[in-house]
Amino acid sequence: MRDYLLTLCVTAAVTYLLTGPVRKFAIAAGAMPEIRARDVHREPTPRLGGIAMFFGLCAGLLVADHLSNLNSVFELSNEPRALLSGAALIWLIGVLDDKFEIDALIKLGGQMIAAGVMVMQGLTILWLPIPGVGTVALTQWQGTLLTVALVVITINAVNFVDGLDGLAAGMVCIAAAAFFLYAYRIWYGFTIEAAAPATLFAVILMGMCLGFLPHNMHPARIFMGDSGSMLIGLVLAASAISITGQVDPDALKIFEGSTREATHAALPVFIPLLLPLTIIAIPVADLVLAIVRRTWNGQSPFAADRGHLHHRLLEIGHSHSRAVLIMYFWSALIAFGTLAYSVHSASMWIVLVIVALSAIGLVLLLLPRFTPRAPRWAESFVPPRYRRRAVRPAEPEQAPGSSSETGDEEPVPVPAGVNGATALSALPELHDRRKAGTRG
């Protein structure tokens, strides 16, 4: 665990320290597009934050290669090199898109090529655990198609959800934490070495997101852009592929008694990781709804709009920060709820806790105007919007006909039918007329 923590800290530190210079570079390079109709920010913000995240990925892999407990991953597996090759390709495509706005079909083709590069180097799905059947081996073309589909779906799901400050980085960090806990349990709990690459990928992904989040929280100083969203989506997919398609459930039958029982024991996380329906359920649901909505309206599935889940949260009255926190809450509930159920699937307490937290989440969704207030002893530790407002003393009532400033003049009469703007412009003339009548 100590080596993983060191890798996490190095990845986060490199990403954090490089994001500031990358921001200046993005401004100098003109990677600050104009505000579009679907955007929620109010002023142009530089992109290309994925540059810092990519170098954080490289730093994490480099450090892990020199640690005694982690270098075996590089010696016994080609998956780290496969990940780095695919990540470099998808990162270059994202950088070009952040600067020049390349066509959506070209990006889709680049995503498929990056996935194919990883498959050629061994990062692919070899088998699937099927309930009631056991382990089903896949042919080469079946594994290739399934791997490419999973990579493309995950990349676009993360890219679609990247619409609010800190949203994509935070949700992927939550998913990476769930990946890490599950893979670490398989690796050190069951001593299955095939789970070591997925554990390393997950901890590096956490470092990339944690290092970038301080610069990306609302109000964001820099956006990750497609160079960052597609990159972390690919790393997330690589972790899922490695833990799902590389770890043979037959190896678990030593601990579970049989292959079928081992498959059922691993099913609560194996299948969700394969289809990304729980760990990144929110981004995938947003992706599916966006495709259906745009196709129904006769638009291209890749046409941008303001119908995403985070846009709808803003429309019903949630603030920017609260919409992001609500998305965090649901992602963590689904990811860690599934993780807890996979460990103790026979416990009803886990199901009851998940149901209770889901009810709390629904209440938060239905109360967009509710603003919690911190107790007075904690007001110095929270933002001003969560502090109790001081009650101002009531102003003394003025006598009828007295002025608010001197009290010796009557209010200037305003003719009927005159609006506020006309009345303000006519005040000097009315005042002069009243004085002239007094003197006469």
Q: Which phi-psi region, left, alpha or beta, contains residue 30 (left: φ > 0; alpha: ψ -120 to 50)?
A: left
Number of other CB atoms surrounding residue 69 within 10 Å: 12
Provide CB contacts within 8 A for 31, sequence distance 6+.
46, 47, 48, 98, 99, 225
Q: Which of 156, 150, 21 lies closest to 94, judged by CA? A: 156
Q: Which helix (H) or strand (E) covers residue 87, if one does?
A: helix 79-100
Provide CB contacts within 8 A for 188, sequence distance 6+.
none
Query: Which residue carries 């990540």 as its tokens?
Result: 87
CA-CA distance, 225 to 212, in Å (whole number)? Answer: 12
Quote the longest CA-to-CA distance of the chain.
Answer: 112
Residue type (1 letter), 119: V
CA-CA distance, 70 to 303, in Å (whole number)? Answer: 43
C-alpha pair distances (Å), 38 with each of 34, 219, 271, 288, 317 = 11, 17, 34, 18, 17
Q: Which of 237, 227, 166 lies closest to 201, judged by CA? A: 237
Q: Is 297 annotated as a binding residue?
A: no
The answer to whether the Cα torsion of 158, 162, 166, 167 is positive or negative is: negative
Q: Is 305 annotated as a binding residue?
A: no
Annotated binding site: 159, 226
Cite the annotated binding site for Mg(2+) by residue number: 159, 226
